[in-house]
Amino acid sequence: MAQAIQVCEIDEELKAQLKKFRFRKDKNISAIVCKIKETTVIIDEQYEDISLEDLQEEVPSTQARFIFLSYCLNHSDGRISYPLCFIYLHPRGTKPEQGMKYSGTKLHLQKESGVTKCFDLTNVEDLTKEWLEGKLSFFG
């Protein structure tokens, strides 16, 4: 069986913030955006009560990023849930060295975070309500 490649380490502060983020009680859309600095995944920015449109504006459109997103999902039967998503943003035109670091770290970070709703995105402008809710619909 193949082992997951671990190209970069995960910052201890990021691990602690992800644990808090997983168990947050707020009922809004929030995000932790991560980047790789040298060989360590660190927090780039944190956002509380942000719309997907505003998040699009904040995230670099030409650089790879990892995004942990707590989303407020309104179901057709009236229920509301708050799924935690992991989005790997890898824009076209990303420098090959950067792309290799991110793609080589993705599975390790995903496993470490324990997030099961994981999606890839090549254009930050595609991070819309329709795209995300379409992806989340597969989880029921």
Instruction: Please determine, for residue 23, whether its predicted confidence score (pLDDT) is greater than 90.
Output: no
Highest mean pLDDT among 21-30, 65-74, 91-100: 65-74
Evaluate whether residue 118 is within a structural domain. Answer: yes
The total number of structural domains in the chain stands at 1
3, part of any domain = no
Q: Is residue 52 part of a domain?
A: yes
- Owning domain of residue 124: 9-139
Query: Is the residue at 4 inside a domain?
Result: no
Asked whether residue 2 is assigned to any structural domain, the reply reads no
Q: pTM of the predicted model, to two decimals?
A: 0.91
Q: What pLDDT was estimated at residue 139? A: 75
Contact 59, 89 (CB under 8 A): yes
Q: What is the pLDDT of residue 81?
A: 86
CATH number of the domain at 87, please: 3.40.20.10
Residue 1 resides in a domain: no
**Cα–Cα distances in angstroms (integers) from residue 16 to residues 8, 13, 41, 43, 104, in the given order:** 17, 5, 13, 11, 22
Residue 16 has pLDDT above 90, yes or no: yes
